[in-house]
Amino acid sequence: MAMIEVKGLIKKFKDVTALDCVDFSVKEGEIIGLLGPNGAGKSTFINILCGLISSDKGEAKIFGKDINKEIRKIKGDIGVVPQDIAIYGDLTAYENVKFFASLYGIRGKKAHECVMEALKFVELDDKAKLKPSTFSGGMKRRLNIACAIAHSPKLIFMDEPTVGIDPQSRNHILQSVKKLNENGVTVVYTSHYMEEVEEICERVFILDQGKVIAQGNKEELTALVTEYKEMNIAVGFINEEDIKDIENIKGVENVKFNDNVISITSEKDKDNMNEILDYLRVKEIEIRSIQMNVPNLETVFLSLTGRKLRDD
Ligand SMILES: Nc1ncnc2c1ncn2[C@@H]1O[C@H](COP(=O)(O)OP(=O)(O)OP(=O)(O)O)[C@@H](O)[C@H]1O
């Protein structure tokens, strides 16, 4: 049974269609990426699934239960890491996590154990008595995560949990997500950073202007848009005759030579790399470096929409 099953979800804010007939599914144990640029509808989608706002149309089930009818039964087993950090500045790290755990009915000795375990998980246990006003952005984000996991949810929604933090803290959070998943937690992770989604997610839904424009694992998604592969070889010297010969190697579609770099475009399914390299060796052409241009999720988004995921 799918852990999340969404069909035809629609949400409008006056004349803005934030979600436009979204279908989505998650199996137990997956880390699912929801990738899309600013304004794509990611937060709206997460907020609906967590019962914070209602949809206009469509069906959504979590753990087989309808979110419109049984959200109370669902809530105890889900955790939410909101995009905007939701912690109290005048409570200590410990008190913050304890407060969120209490919302799930966790109290007394059990609460202490859960809070310390959650703080330990995000490596803030030694900061339990400090107020988050003294924390860096990355530490606040980690505390935000501790607040979401203290009640041991089976399913966690993380809405852009790495926005505005340094690379080291980001890496720390990505490792925590993987660790949570290894401990059996299913994760829905939204981001507009394709590198993050590529690193941790098994399957990805690409959202744009409220629509799922593609979904699959990385290989399936890149296969959607790339018929060719590209290889750049930096060489010492090469003459025009040699370039022509390379053009005639099986699978080669196009060869360009600029600033001592040969750029070779080949059909995706033709394995001609050894043949090209053998040719250069036989001709005693010095090979200085080789680079394969591997398509990524940014390429997929660009090909499908004509736009970049991020403006920066
Ligand atoms: N409460 C609201 N009232 C009016 N419009 C809204 C509201 N919430 C979201 N929107 C609009 O719905 C669209 C989707 O927004 P949403 O925040 O879900 O996108 P997002 O992918 O999470 O983007 P971001 O990464 O910037 O948070 C946007 O056009 C946004 O302006």
* CATH code of 235's domain: 3.30.70.100
Residue 101 domain-assigned (yes or no): yes
Q: Hey, whose CA ends up nearest to atom 31 of ligand 1? A: 39
CA distances from 126 to 100, 130, 135 (A): 19, 9, 12
Q: Is the pLDDT of residue 44 over 80?
A: yes
Whether 198 and 247 share a structural domain: no
The residue whose C-alpha atom lies closest to atom 30 belonging to ligand 1 is: 39
Express each pLDDT in 205-257 by its tens digit. Answer: 999 999 999 999 988 888 887 777 889 999 988 999 999 999 999 999 889 99
Q: Specify the ligand 1 atom closest to the Cα of 19.
A: 14
Residue nearest atom 24 of ligand 1, based on CA coordinates: 38
Residues with CB under 6 A from ligand 1: 13, 16, 18, 36, 38-44, 83, 160, 192
What number does the ligand 1 atom closest to the CA of 11 have? 12
Rounded to two decimals, the ipTM of the complex is: 0.96
Residue of 16, 47, 162 with the most ligand 1 atoms within 8 Å of its CB, for mutation: 16
**pLDDT computed for residue 68 by the predictor:** 92
pLDDT at 312 over 90: no
The pLDDT, as a whole number, for residue 5 is: 97
Residues 244 and 283 placed together within one structural domain of the fold: yes
Q: What is the pLDDT of residue 270?
A: 83
pLDDT at 4 (0 to 100): 97
Residue to mutate, 43, 80, 191, 192, ligand 1, most ligand atoms under 8 Å from C-beta = 43
Alpha carbon of 301 to ligand 1 centroid (Å): 19
Same domain? For 204 and 283 the reply is no
CA of 13 to the centre of ligand 1 (A): 9
CA atoms within 13 A on the CB side of 46: 26
Q: Is 173 part of any domain? A: yes
The number of C-alpha atoms within 13 Å of 29 and in the hemisphere containing its C-beta is 2
Same domain, 233 and 184: no
Pocket test for ligand 1, best of 13, 193, 207 (most atoms within 8 A of CB): 13
Residue 217 sits in the same domain as residue 256: no
Would the pLDDT of 84 be above 90? Answer: no
Assess whether 17 and 157 both reside in one domain.
Answer: yes
Q: Are residues 76 and 217 in the same domain?
A: yes
Instruction: Examine the domain organization and report whether 245 and 190 are in the same domain.
Output: no
Ligand 1 centroid to 209 CA: how many Å? Answer: 10
Interval between CA 194 and ligand 1 midpoint (Å): 19
The residue whose CA is least distant from atom 4 of ligand 1 is 13
pLDDT digits (tens, 9 = 90+) for 142-196: 999 999 999 999 999 999 999 888 888 899 899 999 999 999 999 999 998 888 9
What percent of the chain is modeled with pLDDT above 90? Answer: 72
The residue range of the domain holding 234 is 228-294
Note the pLDDT of residue 38: 87
Within this chain, do residues 112 and 261 fall inside the same structural domain, yes or no? no
Confidence of residue 50 (pLDDT cuts 50, 70, 90): very high
Atom of ligand 1 minimally distant from the CA of 40: 21
Question: Based on the domain organization, do 170 and 234 belong to the same domain?
Answer: no
Any domain includes 311 = no
Task: Among 223, 252, 268, identify where a domain stops.
Answer: 223
pTM of the model: 0.83
Give residues with Cβ within 8 angstroms of 103, minimum separation 6: none
Q: Choose one of 174, 191, 223: the last residue of a domain.
A: 223
Do 45 and 79 belong together in one domain?
yes
Which domain CATH number covers 207? 3.40.50.300
Distance, CA 235 to ligand 1 centroid (Å)?
A: 49
DSSP strand pairing (57-62 vs 2-13)? antiparallel
Total domain count, the chain: 2
Question: How far apart, in Å, do the first and last CA atoms of the chain sit?
Answer: 40
Which protein residue's CA is at the shortest distance from atom 11 of ligand 1?
A: 18
What's the chain's average pLDDT? Answer: 92
83 CA: nearest ligand 1 atom: 27
State in Å: Cα 83 to ligand 1 middle: 12
pLDDT tens per residue across span 278-297: 999 999 999 999 998 877 88
Residues 117 and 244 in one domain: no
Considering only CA atoms, which residue is closest to atom 16 of ligand 1? 41
Model pLDDT, residue 267? 87
Gap between the Cα atoms of 88 and 50, Å rounded: 21
Is the pLDDT reported for residue 311 higher than 70? no
